[in-house]
Chain A
């Protein structure tokens, strides 16, 4: 080797530079630090004595023994300096140092970048032997716990050698065939087992007795594997590498797949398990990075995403980590600072993270998890760390504040309370909008979207009422009325005379009645409106009976309320969404909403009643809750007719009914404003033959989002139907992807059960659906991908184009 002529000269000159560093204590900056020490030059490695009272530090031109002070906050004292006196000898540059144990307790083992293994007698400070079998740098050494004279060295030349330091030459050579060996570690539990990390990213487990091939080979890392460490009980192995990851291996069971992976932000050069008192407890892992990041992170293996503790007292890359005892960590950095710290007092980012989360599902379920685990700190917390308890409580109040309005609106939503227990993590789900979801599904299935317009409207209004969608019902009612032929309207106009007497009576009753009563009656009227349009066609024949109606108190109430209800349903939808139960007065809110033109006229009529605003509020909010209870009990045919008559006589009296198209347009606009996709889309589909004065793309978006919702709910047949009856643009969009779309159905039954309950079976083989399911775009029938493929591709030409469902007749593959 031609190194000697070159290396000696600069070594001498540069040592003067190094000598300007002095060993001095630094004031610890962080309160989790016990002490900090500036050493001469950089410390590459440190190793504690078997009794943990002393430790050796090694680096460039540095090999010292320091005694730990019995008082942990005092700096250690240097008791031996091996490099004094022979400063200029090359072999004092050390890559790694290990203190012997039991019989070799009196020896220090160091390795150099030149490939030497040195053994030092601690008492005499003399280098007692030097092994030079390795041709290239030795990166790591380890001493067996069981045979205290056995030393393993991992070298850049790719070899791992076993030495008995009493013998002159290496006893065994283990050739890993994996480029340079970076780190070596004896198993703490198996006598003959050791592990080597290599430059090509493999980690190999070897047996001391068999040097031909490794007993286990793990492709651990992409790029260089830098460090390995056994847990104190030898069951797990941690490896780290340049690919910024730490992997935990179940080494005792020869698992080839990593047991756990921790991804970090920088290449990791060191991992060290924390010793624990209990032998089997899974302990924490300290890691440091090769470049870029100067912090030491402590990881809790079950939580690989965020470090448990972070120590950032070093200002340069950390070069050595060593646990002295649980919660006492020695570390050194490249700038020569040596430090002892108690990680449990360090900053914990977990404590700073929000520990609760809320999420919605498409089915109206809300899921949230909250973690009220106590802080790990036994000592007082670092003052800049906000306590977790405050986070939780603020989140709790936020949750409650958000959900209470919903609860008040929908009593049937079963919302499980946030648990106040402080010790466990819990995941809860609450179904706030179960009814809404159910309602959506049912309405989507039963809405009549084609055919004769007035009957369809009537039918839809009935359905909407049946399923509790009162806003939609109001909409359909108005559309129904607007769609009536002029002759029908004329007919109602002729009944003007009853109207004034009615309104007078209403007025008097409404002002004197108690609000509770009015609520009841409004509920009744709500339920009545379900059916009263049915009587429309027969109303002329029954007109005589109207005259004879005996106006009971509550019926009159119902009449007035039904009017108010009708005009205000628009606002009530808004208030439901916002969760603010306040109406600023019927008149303002209605006009601001641009309800129908006819409504505007109703408002003026309505003002005659001079109804107190509070009454409106109470009636509306309670109506939806109580309608079912009262709905069926009331209502003779004649009553219905009278209500109906009254209702429309107002509209007819002051202003003739506006053009049907304006009504349709404004109702769709209102639906869009209120994001009521279902009603809007249904109205549009029913009236799609009419010219609607809304920009085309807006309408297409409406249909598109309705189809999207239907598909998410699993109603592919309905979605296909909607597409079939929509504009060319939407049709084109959904017909463009002719191929069948494949999707995996999730197995989370809790969330999908009610949606898929009707769709559980394949349309072809009638077996329950699982695995890959698909639907055809033509008719939307669901089936196993394999079944449908068989059907469509194996049948003869004519049959194969048809849907497999009997009676469907849809040509699925055109």
Chain B
């Protein structure tokens, strides 16, 4: 089982702290402008349904300095996220990336290396893809030169001003969840049998999706679902009852939070809390929502399955 520690690395001012603040602390993206540069290593423990910790390495700290015990750090890391500022000259960042990859892979060959080509919001579509191609090509060539052709590196174009950073994080975290194939199959069956267009299992706190069915994720549906969660959380915090006893409840107790929104374009959004941290959000066409009782039944089956899936593993 992979350790669920995530390390954020990158040159200084590449946006690591901003990513962390936006994804895990709901900071509005434009406020990240005022973040001060991180002076020392910060370690955040994200208490969500899976426990993962994000280590934010300040860009100016050399991880491979003798002062750090990098071997013991990286042996426990599940994913290394390397952030590259796409609006800046990225050659320095690439050089740093190549060194880092070489060192890290030697320590921990199973680590997932994810490159976030960050701050792409200012770039045109054509330029984005060119930048990605260039970075990918250089990395591939460079690593081939040092004999690491087959190190799996994933590249993501991200920006904190839209949902791309959430999607990229989702994909990273999904790689750290061993139950993902099962979860995905459950969702596939659920979607097929309930005529659901698209179903996501969200981590409510971070709006990262833990799993989805295997049909392609389109940006619109993801955005509307994550906005849906925001709406529910906001309304819940205004009108909902106190939730202090939430964490003290029996972990197997089913949560009753649910919401249904019928949109004007004949789509129905259904949200159903799966457990303390997870919520199922699915999009159904209004035509297929006529037998809502059946869908409700299917959701309950899915909920039970997810509960048993995670309780058995843990």
By a beta-carbon cutoff of 8 Å, the part of chain A in contact with chain B is 1-3, 5-7, 9-11, 13-14, 17, 60, 90, 93, 113-115, 135-137, 139, 156-157, 177-180, 182, 199-201, 212-213, 217, 219, 221-224, 226, 242-243, 245, 256, 261, 267, 269, 290-292, 335
- Please name the residue on chain B nearest to A247 by beta carbon: B129
Q: Does B181 lie within 8 Å of A10, measured CB to CB? A: no
Taking a contact as CB atoms closer than 8 A, the residue among A6, A93, A178 that contacts B301 in the complex is: A6
Q: How far is the CA of A267 from the CA of B150 in the complex (A)?
A: 31
Q: Does B193 lie within 8 Å of A11, measured CB to CB? A: yes
B41-49, B101-109, B201-209, B212-220: which one contacts chain A?
A: B212-220
- Please name the residue on chain B nearest to A177 by beta carbon: B152
- Please name the residue on chain A nearest to B144 by beta carbon: A213
Q: How far is the CA of A354 from the CA of B181 in the complex (A)?
A: 53
Question: Does chain A have a CB within 8 A of B189?
Answer: yes
Q: Does B220 lie within 8 Å of A291, measured CB to CB? A: yes
Q: Does B185 lie within 8 Å of A114, measured CB to CB? A: yes
Write the B128-154 contact mask toward A (1 if CB under 8 angstroms, else 0). 110011001100100000000110111
A53 to chain B, nearest CB (A): 31
Which A residues touch B308, using CB under 8 A?
A: 2
Taking a contact as CB atoms closer than 8 A, the residue among A135, A179, A217 that contacts B171 in the complex is: A179
Q: Does B184 lie within 8 Å of A291, measured CB to CB? A: no
Q: Does B188 lie within 8 Å of A114, measured CB to CB? A: yes
Q: How far is the CA of A462 from the CA of B200 in the complex (A)?
A: 82
Q: Does B301 lie within 8 Å of A10, measured CB to CB? A: yes
Which B residues touch A213, using CB under 8 A?
A: 149-150
Q: Does A182 lie within 8 Å of B216, measured CB to CB? A: yes
Other contacts beyond A10-B294, A137-B214, A213-B150: 13, CB < 8 A: A1-B185, A2-B182, A2-B305, A6-B304, A10-B189, A13-B294, A14-B298, A113-B189, A217-B136, A217-B140, A219-B133, A222-B129, A226-B216
- Please name the residue on chain B nearest to A223 by beta carbon: B219
Taking a contact as CB atoms closer than 8 A, the residue among A9, A177, A221 that contacts B129 in the complex is: A221
Question: Does chain A have a CB within 8 A of B70?
Answer: no
Q: Does A178 lie within 8 Å of B154, measured CB to CB? A: yes
Question: Does chain A have a CB within 8 A of B243?
Answer: no
Which B residues touch A7, using CB under 8 A?
A: 186, 189, 193
- Please name the residue on chain A nearest to B298 by beta carbon: A10
Which B residues touch A292, using CB under 8 A?
A: 220
Q: How far is the CA of A14 from the CA of B129 in the complex (A)?
A: 43
Q: How far is the CA of A667 from the CA of B193 in the complex (A)?
A: 84
Q: How far is the CA of A113 from the CA of B312 in the complex (A)?
A: 24
Which A residues touch B38, using CB under 8 A?
A: none
B136 to chain A, nearest CB (A): 6
Q: Does A290 lie within 8 Å of B302, measured CB to CB? A: no
Question: Does chain A have a CB within 8 A of B77?
Answer: no
Q: How far is the CA of A113 from the CA of B189 in the complex (A)?
A: 8
Given A93-B192, A213-B149, A242 contacting B132 (CB threshold 8 A):
no
Which B residues touch A242, using CB under 8 A?
A: 216-219
Which A residues touch B186, using CB under 8 A?
A: 2-3, 6-7
- Please name the residue on chain A nearest to B151 by beta carbon: A177
Which A residues touch B31, using CB under 8 A?
A: none
Size band of the interface chain B makes with A: 35 or more
Question: Does chain A have a CB within 8 A of B52?
Answer: no
Q: Does A180 lie within 8 Å of B214, measured CB to CB? A: yes
Q: Does B185 lie within 8 Å of A212, measured CB to CB? A: no
Interface residues of B in 142-188 (CB under 8 A from A): 149-150, 152-157, 171, 181-182, 184-186, 188
B311 to chain A, nearest CB (A): 11
Given A242-B216, A267-B218, A290-B216, A10 contacting B297 (CB threshold 8 A):
yes
- Please name the residue on chain A nearest to B186 by beta carbon: A3
Taking a contact as CB atoms closer than 8 A, the residue among A2, A11, A179, A243 that contacts B125 in the complex is: A243
Question: Does chain A have a CB within 8 A of B261?
Answer: no
Q: How far is the CA of A157 from the CA of B175 in the complex (A)?
A: 11
Question: Does chain A have a CB within 8 A of B110?
Answer: no
Q: How far is the CA of A335 from the CA of B285 in the complex (A)?
A: 10
Q: Does B294 lie within 8 Å of A5, measured CB to CB? A: no
Q: Does A3 lie within 8 Å of B189, measured CB to CB? A: yes
- Please name the residue on chain A nearest to B180 by beta carbon: A136
Interface residues of B in 295-314 (CB under 8 A from A): 297-298, 301-302, 304-305, 308-309, 312
Q: How far is the CA of A135 from the CA of B184 in the complex (A)?
A: 10
Which A residues touch B220, using CB under 8 A?
A: 291-292
Taking a contact as CB atoms closer than 8 A, the residue among B125, B194, B213 that contacts A10 in the complex is: B194
For the complex of A and B, 8 pairs with smallest distance between CB atoms: A137-B214, A219-B133, A177-B152, A7-B189, A113-B188, A6-B305, A10-B298, A156-B214
Question: Does chain A have a CB within 8 A of B291?
Answer: yes
Q: How many A-B residue pairs have CB under 8 A?
A: 126
Q: How far is the CA of A14 from the CA of B188 in the complex (A)?
A: 15
Q: How far is the CA of A11 from the CA of B302 in the complex (A)?
A: 13
Question: Does chain A have a CB within 8 A of B32?
Answer: no
Which B residues touch A11, using CB under 8 A?
A: 189, 193
- Please name the residue on chain B nearest to A115 by beta carbon: B185
Q: How far is the CA of A256 from the CA of B141 in the complex (A)?
A: 14
Q: Does B128 lie within 8 Å of A200, measured CB to CB? A: no
- Please name the residue on chain B nearest to A224 by beta carbon: B216
Which A residues touch B155, using CB under 8 A?
A: 200, 219
Question: Does chain A have a CB within 8 A of B276?
Answer: no
A44 to chain B, nearest CB (A): 10
Question: Does chain A have a CB within 8 A of B221?
Answer: yes
A390 to chain B, nearest CB (A): 37
Which B residues touch A182, using CB under 8 A?
A: 216
Which B residues touch A60, using CB under 8 A?
A: 192
A91 to chain B, nearest CB (A): 12
Which B residues touch A180, using CB under 8 A?
A: 214
Which B residues touch A217, using CB under 8 A?
A: 136, 140
Q: Does A222 lie within 8 Å of B298, measured CB to CB? A: no
* Residue of B140, B155, B214 with most chain A CB atoms under a 10 A cut-off: B214
Q: Does A156 lie within 8 Å of B184, measured CB to CB? A: yes
Q: How far is the CA of A180 from the CA of B216 in the complex (A)?
A: 10
Interface residues of B in 112-134 (CB under 8 A from A): 125-126, 128-129, 132-133
Q: How far is the CA of A156 from the CA of B213 in the complex (A)?
A: 10
Q: Does B305 lie within 8 Å of A222, measured CB to CB? A: no
Q: How far is the CA of A93 from the CA of B213 in the complex (A)?
A: 14
Taking a contact as CB atoms closer than 8 A, the residue among B129, B185, B188 that contacts A219 in the complex is: B129
Which A residues touch B185, using CB under 8 A?
A: 1, 3, 113-115, 136-137
Q: How far is the CA of A114 from the CA of B150 in the complex (A)?
A: 28
Q: How far is the CA of A385 from the CA of B214 in the complex (A)?
A: 41
A214 to chain B, nearest CB (A): 11
Q: How far is the CA of A245 from the CA of B124 in the complex (A)?
A: 14
Given A14-B298, A200-B155, A221-B129, A139 contacting B193 (CB threshold 8 A):
no
Q: Does B182 lie within 8 Å of A3, measured CB to CB? A: yes
Q: Does A9 lie within 8 Å of B157, measured CB to CB? A: no
Which B residues touch A267, using CB under 8 A?
A: 216, 218-219
Q: Does B216 lie within 8 Å of A219, measured CB to CB? A: no
- Please name the residue on chain A nearest to B128 by beta carbon: A222
| 12 contacts across the A-B interface (CB closer than 8 A) | A2-B309, A5-B305, A6-B186, A7-B186, A14-B294, A113-B192, A137-B188, A201-B132, A222-B125, A243-B125, A290-B218, A292-B220
Q: How far is the CA of A199 from the CA of B218 in the complex (A)?
A: 11
Given A114-B188, A219-B136, A6 contacting B214 (CB threshold 8 A):
no
Q: How far is the CA of A177 from the CA of B216 in the complex (A)?
A: 18
Which A residues touch B190, using CB under 8 A?
A: 10
A310 to chain B, nearest CB (A): 21
Which A residues touch B294, using CB under 8 A?
A: 10, 13-14, 17
